[in-house]
Structure 1
Amino acid sequence: MYICICHAVTDRDIHKAVAQGACSIDLVCDRLNVSSSCGRCWEHAQQVVQDALSENQAPIEIGSIARKTQERYDDRRKAS
């Protein structure tokens, strides 16, 4: 879907920019010229950037955290 008509920027373009390291609306605007003409797309572009950022967060590995915590607990018990 087109987000910025003035510069023909789509939501896919924004998601790609975020995946390539643009971690804020300002960086996306710098890379893609979003909202640099009329400015009507600013709020929608900002929402797409936030959505893309939340989708690109690395998942937390709960199992590895639990294992390390258990290992530390076991080590402390052995030392006592």
Structure 2
Amino acid sequence: MYVCICNAITDRDIRRAAADGADNLYALQSRLGVAAGCGSCADHAREILREGHAKQPARPPTLYVPVPA
């Protein structure tokens, strides 16, 4: 479904950007141009972004293990 009519951005585009690391509306604007025209899609884009992050599995913590020289 189209979310941003001004720039022809779909919900799938936003979910893909979320999976690639976009974590806020500013990041979406930089990557996709969403909400850069009239701005009426900003709230819906944020909602889809939140949904995308909620569905992503948590990343395991990165551990630092020193290696003896």
Return the TM-score normalized by structure 1.
0.69
Tell me how large the CA RMSD over aligned residues is: 1.6
- Cα distance in structure 1, aligned partners of 2:23 and 2:51: 11
Tell me: higher relative CO, structure 1 or 2? Use CA pairs within 8 A at least 6 residues apart: 2
Deviations 1:31-52 (A, max 9, x none): 0000001011011001000100
Q: Which amino acid aligns with 2:8?
A: A
Confirm or deny that 1:42 pairs with 2:42: yes
**2:34 aligns to what SS in structure 1?**
coil
Name stretches of at least 5 consecutive residues in structure 1 with no aligned partner: 61-80
1:16 equivalent in structure 2: 16
Higher share in helix: 1
Q: C-alpha offsets along residues 9-66 of structure 1, whole Å, 9 cap, x if unaligned?
A: 0000000001111122211111000000101101100100010011113288xxxxxx
In 1, Cα distance between the equivalents of 2:57 and 2:39? 28
Instruction: Tell me the residue number matched to 2:56.
Output: 56
Say how many residue pairs are matched. Answer: 60
Q: State the identity %.
A: 40
SS class of match (1:3): strand
TM-score (norm 2): 0.79
Other structure's SS at 1:30 match: helix
